[in-house]
Amino acid sequence: MIDAEAIRCARGETPADLLLKGGRIVDVFSGEIMPGDVAVKNGTIVGIGPYRARQTVDLDGRIVTPGFIDAHVHIESAMTGITGFARAVAAHGTTTVIADPHEIANVLGVEGIRYMLAASEGQPVNIFFMLPSCVPATDMETAGARLMADDLQPFMKEDRILGLAEMMNYPGVLGADPEVLRKIALAEGAHKPVDGHAPGLTGVDLNAYVAAGISSDHECTTLAEAREKLKAGMHIMVREGTAAKNLAALLPLVNPHTCRRMMWCTDDRHAHDLLTEGHIDFIVRSAVDQGLDPVVAVQMATLNPAEFFGLRHLGAVAPGRRADLLVIEDLHDLKVGRVYSRGRLVAIDGRIVDGIETPRPIGAPPAMRVPSGALDFSIAATGRRVRVIEIVPEQIITRSIVTEARIEDGRAVSDPGRDLLKIAVVDRHSGTGRTAAAFVKGLGLKQGAIASSVAHDAHNIIVAGVGDRDMSAAVETIVKMAGGLAVVSDGRLLAQLALPIAGLMSEAPLAEVAAGLDRLIAATHFLGSPLGDPFMTLSFLALPVIPALKLTDRGLVDVEKFQIVPLFVE
Amino acid sequence: MIDAEAIRCARGETPADLLLKGGRIVDVFSGEIMPGDVAVKNGTIVGIGPYRARQTVDLDGRIVTPGFIDAHVHIESAMTGITGFARAVAAHGTTTVIADPHEIANVLGVEGIRYMLAASEGQPVNIFFMLPSCVPATDMETAGARLMADDLQPFMKEDRILGLAEMMNYPGVLGADPEVLRKIALAEGAHKPVDGHAPGLTGVDLNAYVAAGISSDHECTTLAEAREKLKAGMHIMVREGTAAKNLAALLPLVNPHTCRRMMWCTDDRHAHDLLTEGHIDFIVRSAVDQGLDPVVAVQMATLNPAEFFGLRHLGAVAPGRRADLLVIEDLHDLKVGRVYSRGRLVAIDGRIVDGIETPRPIGAPPAMRVPSGALDFSIAATGRRVRVIEIVPEQIITRSIVTEARIEDGRAVSDPGRDLLKIAVVDRHSGTGRTAAAFVKGLGLKQGAIASSVAHDAHNIIVAGVGDRDMSAAVETIVKMAGGLAVVSDGRLLAQLALPIAGLMSEAPLAEVAAGLDRLIAATHFLGSPLGDPFMTLSFLALPVIPALKLTDRGLVDVEKFQIVPLFVE
């Protein structure tokens, strides 16, 4: 809501706080690039025109665009806390993110959502949330929470809650599960959108999914899939993250008719990529490199997501819009120079300016309930042949294979010579310490163990290694840090990263987190792993909604059968 | 909210209620026209594809579009009630209107809004409302109501209330009037838009008006004006009504970048035009005639207003959208063949089909408080020269002239030889019968009198004529009818039309209203008036916000000075 002071300023009766003078403004409404001076008062753009101001910045013909918007992101994936994330993306020109706190909600439930709402106040970027729709992912694991429609209901009317987050439970939608429909109705009742997540869904099932009230999709990987979904009425979020990269495939869908219903998102973007490549600026730059009209690329980063999420005060350089503004040298080699958030200069040339305070950290609720001294990864050899999770490098799917177990003293043990390592998942939520152990192929450790409290979606502790003792030491290190990642060999801690916020995030700045991850990965490579990012691979081995064979604290899950299966096949 | 039954149908598990087979569908998302079969269940489109259905209609290659939307209309202007209006526009393919009940609210206040909400239930078209923002228009007349933010507040959260209606009080916005800002804040708090009304506003004042939170404008009359407003972030409603016709002037603004923020509206469209030319179909047809891409013309009638008003379930032929559908022969010579509303066939070839029931009329609250026998239009001659309202034919502005009065027996009287007629406005709201009398030039009556309870915006009774006796008889006829229009000569009632709903609308069908108006106009022509529609002209002579000289029950208003001025100048 604008104040009387800003109205007077807009009329030219009083000077503005700030005037960005002599720039060329990307007008997302007309598609034109027009010369003009942007006047800002109390954090709001009051007008474009020849205003007086207390502070004038001469732009000398540089380009002014609205601040960029990430339409769908899991902040937790960067492993830094909200403060670290906000500063990292602000430095790259993202002034608004629509986050799905799905990870922390799986650990802490509504307390996790409350924590994210509180911790995102006073940040240099606007942080909005969608309410996690699918917590827990399945009933075949011990999760930290179960979010029903009744749990989400009190949040739905809040201003910074924009709708219901990605509806991954498409079988629930297609089966008209009453609880799923209640969650959708909650968003519809508040006139807020429901984001979709329906990789590969097509034909009549896609019709049913969209008819149920789901408005967007960010899982398209082919042009045909995106075209079908767009024509069914979905807004298409083109995702270019760390693991999933869909820009090149989907770019041909963008044309003057379709572009209004398309926008950018990162979904999951890891610390290293944020630091080195950037965020939404990287996607805009890549799209322009690949031939997209720069104005359209900017619209997809600004006006389009603002309209989709009903954020009338964002997404454009125009009166009444929040003064979230970028100054860049050149639309074709897009490098973000200055970043203004609510009229305040927050970053120059990729660095947060001095004096941008960070909000005081808020303690997150405890999220590590593992009884001490109870760890036991031994496997009684009740058979000879075992099911093994086989890693597919660079992918989150696995293969399910069966092989001869190595048996010693009546117990099945790791066989590093055949790259057959023990893997275990330990319940960290309920306090039972329930543990299931099995075998994994493809991790490549010759010695030692690695462990992580980041393990989608329930985020129990996952650990893999050659010997039980190192596996125990790695898990104990994580419990001691109240969450994090660890590499142990011969009883010695080689590397660690504390993630005390729900076992998922650190209060440290992004660069520190990235450096910590580098050390962990280097240590894992030292132990013999050939994987590019063994911790990312590890984090998906407990996710029982992605084929083919996964491990939860309750045992091996055959994802295609959607049931727990025994380790030994005979 | 979709039901489980519709989801099953969407998946092809159960037959649809209706299948529109073999049409060519205007896909407002991709801009393509694509062959396809549209399946409908429980009033909702469940999918496009090869569905089974209980009823199949073979379209034989005809075009299917979403039902049309009128983005801004005063239903009262058609003088028929909501039932008559809904049937009239449905016959022309309009399946949704966003109405501003400004007229009835000026008469009945919140009771008028409640009446419109109740009377619009169960109609064959979707009727949404914006809340009147400027009741009364001024304090220089006796109005039927005064609507403050507190009065509007309980309505704002209702589902069929879409926001705040045209903010005509732009001086109030520019002056940051706290009550005006409160009304805007009410809409913003509900995440609903505020429609604008700012003819000619430009430069820094336009910036201030937009910055205050106003999102649309339907008053642009020139291309430059519309372009400036669009670039300031306003959605542009291109109006083509009975009096104001802006299509030809604004059409050049429509291009692939701008079109998403443009839509059609009628604002005020009288009975005759609705019957003979049509409604939104007429605008789409005219735009295409003038060279606009038919798909864009359809988008501006469907998806664009649906998006602007947050109507996610309207505006497209796609799963989950309400089955409001038109079947037309040809996009270039657009004639609406079949009209489906919520999947039900409601009109064929411009006629409502048999069996479409009309909701039972709801009695409107009384709106005629004139003491009997108290009418007195005599004017004591306290001077010789008088201010006269001079009509400008076909316009709602008037000129203010000064001329010699004709004085008889110490009283100023009409002088039909010089086309100087007496005009009076009688308070019909407060029960005082307060009357102000003056003179008008340009009406052209040689004898008799005409009167109307439709007199913007307060809708007191306005009457003009040669002699006081006929004037009294005309007003008494209106009072007896509880509102309406009348023509009297020599004590004889020549024509009348009862408008008992708030003195503004009839329960009669549109054709009857149009015929009644024809008779009234013919009678007025018979009495000597050269004006095309003397009642329309009359209805604006009491509106004290349009220059130059107007009459209210409190006296002559010099609109430029914005104050009451005496009749006699010397």
Q: What's the complex ipTM?
A: 0.94
pLDDT digits (tens, 9 = 90+) for B410-446: 999 999 999 999 999 999 999 999 999 999 999 999 9
Amino acid B394: pLDDT: 84
Nearest CA in chain A to B209: A7
What is the percent of chain A with per-residue pLDDT over 70, rounded to a whole number? 100
C-alpha B286/C-alpha B247 separation (Å) is: 8
Q: If you compute the radius of gyration of chain A from its CA atoms, what whole number of angstroms results?
A: 25
pLDDT tier, B94 (very low <50, low <70, confident <90, very high otherwise):
very high
What is the rounded average pLDDT for all residues in chain B?
96
pLDDT of residue B9: 98
φ, ψ of residue A361 in degrees (nearest 5): -60, 140
pLDDT in tens, B185-238: 999 999 999 999 999 999 999 999 999 999 999 999 999 999 999 999 999 999
| Angstrom distance (rounded) from CA B302 to CA B93 | 11
- Judge whether residue A174 has pLDDT over 80: yes
Whether B204 has its CB under 8 Å from any CB of chain A: the answer is: yes
How far apart (Å, rounded) are the C-alpha atoms in residues B368 and B430?
A: 9
Rounded percentage of chain A residues whose pLDDT exceeds 90: 95
Cβ contacts of A45 on chain B, cutoff 8 Å: 211
Quick one: CA dihedral A384, A385, A386, A390, positive or negative? positive
Tell me the three state secondary structure of residue B555.
Answer: strand
B223 touches chain A (CB under 8 A): no
From CA B306, how far away is CA B296, in angstroms rounded? 14
pLDDT per position as a tens digit, A485-509 = 999 999 999 999 999 999 999 999 9
Q: Which of residues 4-63 of A touch B (CB under 8 A)?
A: 4, 6-8, 10-12, 27, 29-32, 34, 44-49, 51
**Burial level of A150, CB count in 10 A (0-12/13-18/19+)?**
exposed
Cα separation, B328 vs B59, whole angstroms: 9
For range A40-69, the mean pLDDT: 98
Q: Which residues 6+ apart lie within 8 Å of A69 measured at CB?
A: A94, A95, A96, A97, A98, A263, A280, A301, A302, A305, A306, A314, A315
Averaged pLDDT for residues A343-357: 96
Burial A306-326 (b: 16+ CB within 10 A, else e): bbbbbbbbbbbbbbbbbbbbb
Confidence tier at A113 by pLDDT (50, 70, 90)? very high
Query: Which of B111, B106, B116 is CA-nearest to residue B82?
Result: B116
SS3 B472: helix
Closest CA to B195 of B247, B138, B265: B265
State how far the Cα of A353 lies from the Cα of A185, in Å rounded to an integer: 44
Kindly state the helix (H) or strand (E) to which residue B426 belongs, with its residue range: strand B420-426
Q: Which chain A residues are Cβ-neighbours of B227 within 8 angstroms?
A: 30
Cβ of A366 under 8 Å from any chain B Cβ?
A: no
Kindly compute the dihedral angle of the four CA atoms of residues B73, B74, B76, B80, in this order, to the nearest 10 degrees. 0
* Band of residue A201 on the pLDDT scale cut at 50, 70, 90: very high
**Residue B230: its chain A contacts at CB < 8 A?**
29-30
Q: What is the pLDDT of residues B447-462, one digit of tens each?
A: 999 999 999 999 999 9
* Angle formed at CA A235 by CA A234 and CA A238, multiple of 5 degrees: 125
Q: What is the pLDDT of residue B2?
A: 75
Q: Label each residue of A90-141 as H, E or C.
A: HHCCEEEEEECCHHHHHHHCHHHHHHHHHHCCCCCCEEEEEECCCCCCCCCC
- pLDDT for position B352: 97
Inter-chain Cβ pairs, chain A and chain B, closer than 8 A: 189
Residue A68 DSSP SS3: strand
> Using CB atoms within 10 A of its CB, is residue A146 exposed (0-12), middle (13-18) or buried (19+)?
exposed
**Looking at per-residue confidence, does A570 or B257 come out higher?**
B257
Give B205→chain A minimum CA distance, Å.
5
Which of A365, A404, A360 lies closest to A381, judged by CA?
A: A404
Mean pLDDT of B11-20: 98
Record: contact A312-B47, CB cut-off 8 A:
no
pLDDT band with cut points at 50, 70 and 90 for residue A1: low
Q: Are A376 and A422 in contact (CB under 8 A)?
A: no
Hey, how many other C-beta atoms are within 10 angstroms of the C-beta on B410? Answer: 10
Is the pLDDT reported for residue B88 higher than 70?
yes
pLDDT band with cut points at 50, 70 and 90 for residue B345: very high
pLDDT score recorded for residue B1: 62
Please name the residue of chain A whose CA is at the shortest distance from the CA of residue B26: A231
Pull the structure tokens for residue A136.
Answer: 């827990």
A395 band by pLDDT with thresholds 50, 70 and 90? confident
Q: Does residue A323 surpass a pLDDT of 70?
A: yes
Distances (CA, A) of B216 to A248, A319, B265, B457: 36, 13, 12, 22
Asked if pLDDT for residue B333 goes beyond 90, the answer is no
Q: Which of residues 291-330 of B touch A (CB under 8 A)?
A: 295, 307, 310, 312, 316, 318-321
A79 confidence band (pLDDT: 50, 70, 90): very high
